Amino acid sequence: MRIGVLFGGRSGEHEVSLASAAAVVHHLDLSHYEPVPILIGKDGRWSQPERPPTVVQASELIEHARLRAAGTVRNHQDGIPGRPRINEPSAMVQELALDVVFPVLHGPYGEDGTVQGLLEMIDMPYVGAGVLASAVGMDKAVMKQLFAANNLPQVDYRIIRQSDWTSTPDAICKMIASELGFPVFVKPANLGSSVGISKVTSAKNLKAAMAYAAEFDRKVVVEQAVPNAREIECAVLGYNQLEASIPGEVVPSREFYDYEAKYVDEGSLLRIPAPLDTELTDKVQHLAVTAFRAIDGSGMARVDFLLNDETKELFVSEVNTIPGFTTVSMYPKLWEASGVAYVELLNRLIQLALEKHAAKKLLRTSFP
Ligand SMILES: Nc1ncnc2c1ncn2[C@@H]1O[C@H](COP(=O)(O)OP(=O)(O)O)[C@@H](O)[C@H]1O
Ligand SMILES: [Mg+2]
């Protein structure tokens, strides 16, 4: 089977995607699969790289991008020599005669349902969440509303539209101070990798944080900070039958798990399994599956939680439909610890993609 590995992308998480895709390409079982890497440039152009992406840490790629942005390195396409082929992505995917596409794209224009829509249009089986779950998983505001509808425990939050912010900033600041209090986290609704996120500890920093988040999206989510927060993550795999992995824990190297802590500074620690008692472990796994269903997920997702370490209150934070996929990333490591090695995980995800595609084919499309 020819597996198209789609990577790069028009998002701030371009470099992270290169690192994830390299690991996927290098772990596909070559006795069954032929990897076909497809690079999406930051400009949105699709091309077939001459060589597959190499396994490097996301931090190296990010450093490289930084140097390039500073003008130190020139004419170097993300470290991968690109040969632009066909500008029209759907024609390209069809011409390559792929059997399954694995989108290893993080963030907007990749994890948000746009690429999934293109693959649906050309009837191409693909790994992971469909259009709806991808879009919901990328929109923290809609995701929270679906969590609420499914009675999932979450922190108190408000959704603020950019236009309201622009017209009545003072009233909004007042409302946040009185209804949520401090500290709060301020986040753009549609983003990932902690981009645009600030922790605000007092009223005087709220305006700057709001304005910053509003630069990234037209909706801003403001939520109460969980005190003594521990970050618990659980991997979900499946289509009709869902399985939850053993939970893991991230111990960020910085005040919170921001972009630097995630990809640049490698001091963050993963604890697998997360040191939790049996009751909390069961709760995490149960809530992970419920959250996955709430957004209508399929294939895979990593469900993230915040645990108040003092009161042991557990809050669902978000679902990531294309989690990091490097060999040191949480999603594959959680499965490895749960008895599914990386190579086998890829097999399972490809099988699930085919299963979903076949099931959809059986649905009636006409009636007498
Ligand atoms: N309500 C909160 N309480 C405590 N920490 C938070 C809260 N919201 C976010 N954080 C911190 O910010 C990080 C990024 O927030 P998150 O909502 O996961 O955004 P992203 O989609 O960018 O990962 C989290 O991993 C956590 O460290
Ligand atoms: Mg997160």
Contact 197, 258 (CB under 8 A): yes
- Establish if 31 belongs to a structural domain: yes
List, edge to edge, every strand of the sheet that includes 2-8.
82-84, 46-49, 34-40, 2-8, 100-104
My answer on whether 115 and 163 are in the same domain is no
Domain total in the chain? 3
How far, in Å, from the CA of 328 to the mean position of ligand 1?
Answer: 20
Q: Which of 171, 181, 160, 178 is nearest to 224 (CA)?
A: 181
Instruction: Take residue 154 and report the two structure tokens written for it.
Output: 């979450």
Alpha-carbon distance 331 to 334, whole Å?
A: 5
Q: Give nearest CA residue, ligand 1 atom 22.
A: 194
- Establish if 366 belongs to a structural domain: no
Q: Give nearest CA residue, ligand 1 atom 3.
A: 225
How far, in Å, from the CA of 192 to the mean position of ligand 1?
Answer: 10
Contact 330, 342 (CB under 8 A): no
Q: Which ligand sits nearest to residue 199's alpha carbon? A: 1
**Residue-range definition of the domain harbouring residue 31:** 2-126
- Establish if 133 belongs to a structural domain: no
My answer on whether 200 and 247 are in the same domain is no
My answer on whether 71 and 12 are in the same domain is yes
Q: Give nearest CA residue, ligand 1 atom 9.
A: 185
My answer on whether 52 and 70 are in the same domain is yes
Query: In degrees rounded to 5, what are phi and psi of residue 61?
Result: -65, -40
- Establish if 57 belongs to a structural domain: yes
- Establish if 252 belongs to a structural domain: yes
How far, in Å, from the CA of 156 to the mean position of ligand 1?
Answer: 14
CATH of the domain at 235: 3.30.470.20
- Establish if 364 belongs to a structural domain: no
pLDDT of residue 254: 78
Cα dihedral sign, 145-146-147-149: positive
pLDDT interval class at 367 (50, 70, 90): confident
My answer on whether 216 and 161 are in the same domain is yes
My answer on whether 306 and 247 are in the same domain is yes
Range of lowest pLDDT (51-55, 122-126, 127-131): 51-55
How far, in Å, from the CA of 320 to the mean position of ligand 2?
Answer: 8
Mark which of 176, 207, 224 sits at the end of a domain. Answer: 224
How far, in Å, from the CA of 223 to the mean position of ligand 1?
Answer: 10
My answer on whether 330 and 210 are in the same domain is no
How far, in Å, from the CA of 111 to the mean position of ligand 2?
Answer: 14
CATH of the domain at 170: 3.30.1490.20
My answer on whether 28 and 79 are in the same domain is yes
My answer on whether 145 and 293 are in the same domain is yes
How far, in Å, from the CA of 194 to the mean position of ligand 2?
Answer: 7
pLDDT at 230 over 50: yes
Q: Which ligand sits nearest to residue 251's alpha carbon? A: 1
My answer on whether 144 and 285 are in the same domain is yes
My answer on whether 161 and 142 are in the same domain is no
Mutate to test the pocket of ligand 1, among 16, 185, 307 (most ligand atoms within 8 A of CB): 185
- Establish if 273 belongs to a structural domain: yes
What average pLDDT does range 27-43 have in this prediction?
A: 93
pLDDT of residue 81: 47
pLDDT in tens, 189-229: 987 677 889 999 998 999 999 999 999 889 999 999 999 99
Mark which of 191, 224, 257 sits at the end of a domain. Answer: 224
pLDDT at 361 over 80: yes
pLDDT of residue 10: 81
- The 8-class DSSP code of residue 126 comes to B
Mutate to test the pocket of ligand 1, among 191, 256, 262 (most ligand atoms within 8 A of CB): 256
Contact 268, 252 (CB under 8 A): yes
Looking at the chain, the whole-number percentage of residues with pLDDT higher than 70 is 89
Give the pairing of strands 229-238 and 242-244: antiparallel
Over the chain, what is the mean pLDDT?
89
- Establish if 287 belongs to a structural domain: yes
Q: Residue type for 248, please?
A: G
My answer on whether 238 and 338 are in the same domain is yes
Where does ligand 1 bind, in terms of residues with CB under 6 Å? 155, 185, 187, 192-194, 197, 223, 225-226, 229, 231, 252, 256-257, 304, 306, 317-318
Residues 6+ apart with CB under 8 A from 270: 248, 249, 250, 251, 328, 330, 333
- The 8-class DSSP code of residue 156 comes to -
Mark which of 199, 224, 249 sits at the end of a domain. Answer: 224
How far, in Å, from the CA of 289 to the mean position of ligand 2?
Answer: 17
pTM of the model: 0.91
DSSP string over 225-280: PPTTEEEEEEEEEESSSEEE---EEEE-SSSS--HIIIII-TT-EEESS----HHH
Q: Give whole-number Cα distances, 111 to 55, 84, 119, in Å.
A: 21, 23, 13
Contact 146, 180 (CB under 8 A): no
Mutate to test the pocket of ligand 1, among 142, 176, 194 (most ligand atoms within 8 A of CB): 194
Contacts made by residues 49-53, CB under 8 angstroms, sequence distance 24+: 49/80, 49/81, 49/82, 49/83, 50/81, 50/82, 50/83, 51/80, 51/81, 52/22, 52/25, 52/26, 53/7, 53/18, 53/19, 53/21, 53/22, 53/25, 53/80
Q: Which of 242, 265, 262, 229 is nearest to 330 (CA)?
A: 262
